[in-house]
Copies of this chain bind each other. A is one copy, B any other.
Amino acid sequence: MSFLRMCFVFGLVTAVLGVAVAEEAGGMVWRDGSELRIDGKGWSDTPTPYSRLPERAEEKVRKPVWDRSLKSAGLVIHFNTDARKISFKWTLTSGSLAMHHMPATGVSGLDLYVKNADGKWLYVRNARPTGKSSTGSVNIWDAEKGNMREYKLYLPLYNGIESLQIGVPEGAKFEQPDVSDAKPIVYYGTSITQGACASRPGMAFAAMIERELGVPLINLGFSGNGRMEPEVAELLAELDPQVYVVDCLWNLTRAEDETIQERARNLIWKIRSKHAETPILFVGQSNFRGLRTGKTEALLEELEKAGDNRVENVHFLPGRDLLGDDGDGTVDGVHPNDLGMRRHADVLIPAIRELIAEEPEPKDAGEAKSD
């Protein structure tokens, strides 16, 4: 017998392994999500705890933008617990659980990550939606079981949350970490930003950026409707992030070049009227084996003019490597699958890292505040 690789090491069982099990009849203490802090939100005055734009925006933005803001893409419940089992009950706003090219786990599921000893976030397990209302449990098996651990629960990408409860066994500690003092990244985009077509919410590239840079991220991806509109630009300017990212070209492929240029100019002005220095990163259209619609060039022309007019700190990232060059990064020629999401993150993370002031030091779970 020959060994193809001699590096086979018999590892210790140190895994955090989540296994979906039938929920126990009792003995769980439930917390309502609406009473917990939800990260990834730009505004607190939203119509529901699980939506993304302030109530007053309903009158301002087009209805399709508003409708998409009610999907919970990018929202994250962040908690610490020593529980050896974590349970979920959630009711969605729509019983339409999946899309043809995106599974129910991505459209409507919950996705749990844990921080390991090195401060890295690792996937634990997801909870599968089985109907408009679902329940799920995750057993935490770990060498350090019984220790306080820090968790993030990513909410559905293409559905809304009507109600959500998180349960841990009686006697288990459950705490909310301090609010991060790092200013967020604001990422404005299309369906691709919203998370189509990740297999689960933690695989959206925006979630990867947030986890890997350790900086809060506000996902303002609006499927089919990320169009650099003045009304949205005004809302963006209300926020105070470390970086704005504007990644809208796929939703402007039918727009005139002049429209794109006018909207980019307006967006830069709106932001600069409130934030003289904040970096603004425009992203070129992702593409697939050389397809170009010319919209990236139209945008680029406008950004060059901004430079000529001494508008500082406006940046451009080409989109051509976002999907790779083999076509395997998409599920349908446009929307990334999980491989394409990873490729997006690999291009975007270093680009954004150059523009953020400082990555925060990882905090110990021990520093967390009790809820």
Binding site for B on A (CB under 8 A): 1-5, 7-19, 97-105, 109, 120, 122-126, 128-130, 197, 199-200, 202-203, 208, 281, 284, 287-292, 297, 303-304, 306-307, 311, 313-318, 320, 326-328, 330-333, 337-342, 351, 354
Contact = CB atoms under 8 A, between A and B. Distances in A.
Contact of A8 (B124, B129, B318): B318
Given A1-B303, A4-B315, A337-B337, 12 more contacts: A1-B304, A1-B307, A97-B100, A101-B128, A101-B199, A101-B200, A122-B327, A199-B337, A203-B337, A328-B342, A337-B339, A339-B342
A292 B12 CA distance: 8
Contacts of A316: 1, 3-4, 8
* Residue of A292, A306, A342 with most chain B CB atoms under a 10 A cut-off: A342
A15 B315 contact: no
Contacts of A337: 199-200, 203, 337-339
A307 B1 CA distance: 4
A19 B8 CA distance: 45
Given A10-B292, A14-B289, A129-B100, A105 B328 contact: no
Among A17, A124, A208, A284, the one with the most B-chain Cβ atoms within 10 Å of its Cβ is A17
A310 to B, nearest CB: 10
A297 B203 contact: no
Contacts of A130: 100
A311 B197 contact: no
A327 B113 CA distance: 9
Contacts of A289: 14-17, 122
Nearest to A303: B1
A73 B286 CA distance: 31
Contacts of A124: 327
B333 A328 contact: no
A311 B103 contact: no
B318 A7 contact: yes
Given A14-B289, A122-B289, A4 B354 contact: yes
A315 B2 contact: yes
A-B CB proximity, top 9 nearest: A1-B307, A123-B327, A337-B338, A8-B318, A15-B291, A338-B339, A199-B337, A11-B290, A15-B289
